[in-house]
Amino acid sequence: MYSKVSEPVDVLVAFKRGSVEPMTFKWGKRYYQVRKVNLIHSERRGREKITFFSVSDEANAYRLAYSSESMKWSLEEMAIL
């Protein structure tokens, strides 16, 4: 079951074949290693394009969001697997 979080995070990404792939993100004082990118999709909110990354580590699943307008990342949701 997913829980809403909606908090800012810092994300380390890799650029692979013209796309962005999250590798690690920092939430609070803890770092989370992304093991798998499960899904990527985008939506528009006016001028702003939000790209969502559904990712997982060895224990949990997360939904990261990147705003093209503000150039900021947020952790939108998380699920304990």
Q: Distance between CA atoms of 40 and 28, rounded to whole angstroms?
A: 24
Question: 19-59 pLDDT, tens per residue?
Answer: 899 999 999 999 999 999 999 999 998 989 999 999 999 89
- In this prediction, residue 69 has a pLDDT band, given cuts at 50, 70 and 90, of very high
pLDDT at 5 over 90: yes
**Structural domain containing residue 18:** 2-80
Q: What distances in angstroms separate CA 32 from CA 23, 42, 44, one per listed residue? A: 9, 23, 27
Chain centroid offset of residue 40 CA: 9
State the total domains in the chain.
1
Tell me what pLDDT residue 16 has. 87
Strands in the chain per DSSP E: 2-16, 19-27, 30-33, 36-45, 48-56, 60-67, 73-80
Q: Distance between CA atoms of 26 and 40, rounded to whole angstroms?
A: 19
